[in-house]
Amino acid sequence: MRILVHQVNVPLTYDNPVILHQVGRKIGCEPDSLSNPKIIRRSLDARARNPEPVYALTVEVNFNLPTLPPSAKSPAVEIVTGSAEDEKPGARVRFLPEGGVRPVVVGAGPAGLMAAYQLAIAGARPLLIERGDDAQDRAPKVAQFWNDGILDPESNVLYGEGGAGLFSDGKLTARSKERGRIRDFMTLLHACGAHENVLIDAEPHVGSDALLTIVPRLREQILAAGGEVRFRSKLETFIIEAGQLRAIVVNGQEIACTHCVLAVGHSARDVYEMLAEQGVALQPKPFAVGVRLEIPQSAIDRAQYGRFAGSPLLGAASFRLTRREEAGLRSCYSFCMCPGGKVITCASEPGFLTTNGMSYSKRSLPLGNAAFLVPVGPADYPEHAIPALAGVEFQRKLERDAFTAAGGGYKVPATRLVDFLAKSVSSALPEGGSCPVAVPVEFRTILPDFVTTTLEKAIPPMLQELYGVKLKDAVLYAPETRSSSPLWITRHPEGESINTRGLYPAGEGSGYAGGIVSSAIDGMRAAEHLLKSPAKPNVS
């Protein structure tokens, strides 16, 4: 029989005999009763209570005796009916033409790429349009923006093939329970060049440098399956008749379209405005804003790994910190931690700026960073003629104020943490910071009082959880505004817009996903919903 065994602890250097030995200890049998181990999941356990760091594995293995020993109890041990790797998403269907026109996918981020891929392998020959450049042409424009402050509003850190995630570390954290879709996505990434660790690690990481080669290979998969991809193709408007999508206008050209996966990302504000003008149902949504905090990676490693810090087997450590809401203060949490990475500036509109973090595949730079965010909601937003867009205006004000406070030119407002806590402006920033265009700024000219007050009170005790990290070594950058979409493009459980038939909002821009993996899964799900719709598009 085939069994699945959870929480099998092995040393950082392990092989199949070691795995079988540890599985035998776990379930109470001799290792020679076991064979053919396959790692399904792997997570690092470097807690101080352990004599040394270990990997905790979930392993699928053959048990070669008639009955399991009494000590092999659920939930640590499960009998597998078929391989756990054979599980497939229940919504998968095969496309059958039934009239209409081919589907269009708008946006080549994780959601759009995976929606287009799913449609293509189903035979639907989708058209994927992206306002920005392909990854190879996009990269030098991003470098020019970082180095010289020259912004291309259509192809930048936030727009272009790969979406905002192309320049945001490539973390593949997955909290979804949809194991089949997650596995399909990770398997496709591996086929496109991602390291095999993405198939088993609990928190896999690719790196922005690796994504620059992986994403074009994913595009090639779409093309090989019959899809079409057009870059520098900007969605301008929808043509909607009696609540049914009939066409889209791209670069001034009308394209027949009755089924569209809209996966534009959370920064396509002009698309949000167009949707509002067209009467597509939108709803304001809470999100979070704050700062990005940078500290020495060596201090993070010591705090997390103790005496084992610096081991090449461990790599750069990460952290996740939270602070509960208190009287007069909101909650605070870390987000998008980038070990051994750097802080970057982002913009999608002239005269506005925000921050983000990224790491390369080796995560070997001397500093680590993470956003420290405070929740905001519709009650905090300014009045707006279109209430659903009020959160966008809230973001814009922070980003405009940041651009102005730093003196223009897309320089990044920054301050030492100790100066921020003392309510003073840093006279100078530490040498060697990861963001070379940072300048000292008083953050209270940028962020709302309730945000700065919460950060003042929350950050010091949060950092105390990283034993040995010193407040004087921390540098803050502002603002961090695009943690998630400020609105929902409201949709039915079946994925379709609640008032526009044929429109399937997906990914971060829809407000229903966040991060690379959840966006990719949402795009896959949108394609599956579209393929099951009553009036499927034709491939002719």
Q: Render each residue's pLDDT in the chain as its tens digit; 540 residues.
A: 999 999 999 999 999 999 999 999 999 999 999 999 999 999 999 887 788 999 999 999 999 999 999 988 888 999 998 654 444 443 444 454 445 589 999 999 999 999 999 999 999 999 999 999 999 999 999 999 999 999 999 999 999 999 998 998 778 887 667 888 999 999 999 999 999 999 999 889 999 999 999 999 999 999 999 999 999 999 999 999 999 999 999 999 999 999 999 999 999 999 999 999 999 999 999 999 999 999 999 999 999 999 999 898 999 999 999 999 999 999 999 999 999 999 999 999 999 999 999 999 999 999 999 999 999 999 999 999 999 999 999 999 999 999 999 999 999 999 999 999 999 999 999 999 999 999 999 999 999 999 999 999 999 999 999 999 999 999 999 999 999 999 999 999 999 999 999 999 999 999 999 899 999 999 999 999 999 987 555 443
In the chain the first and final C-alpha atoms are separated, in Å, by 48
pLDDT at residue number 141: 96
| CATH number, domain 104-284+485-531, options 1.10.600.10, 1.10.760.10, 3.40.50.300, 3.50.50.60 | 3.50.50.60
- Contact assessment for residue 172 and residue 182, using Cβ atoms and an 8 Å cutoff: no
**Residue type at 453 in one-letter notation:** T
Q: Does an H or E element contain 229, and which?
A: strand 228-230
pTM of the model: 0.93
CA angle 388, 249, 153 (to 5 degrees): 65
In angstroms, the CA 211 to CA 511 distance is 24
Would you say the CATH fold of 104-284+485-531 matches that of 2-86? no
Please, are residues 404 and 353 in contact by the beta-carbon 8 Å criterion? no
pLDDT of residue 537: 53
The predicted pLDDT at position 158 comes to 95
pLDDT value of position 96: 45
Angle between helices 110-121 and 516-531 (to 10 degrees): 40
**2-86 CATH fold:** Alpha-Beta Plaits (3.30.70)
Quote the CA–CA distance of 138 and 511 in Å, as a whole number. Answer: 25
- Please report, for the chain, the start and end positions of each structural domain, with discontinuous segments joined by +: 2-86, 104-284+485-531, 287-480
Nearest in space to 476 (alpha carbons), one of 347, 375, 373 = 373
Element (H, E) at 63: strand 54-63
What is the per-residue pLDDT for 48? 75
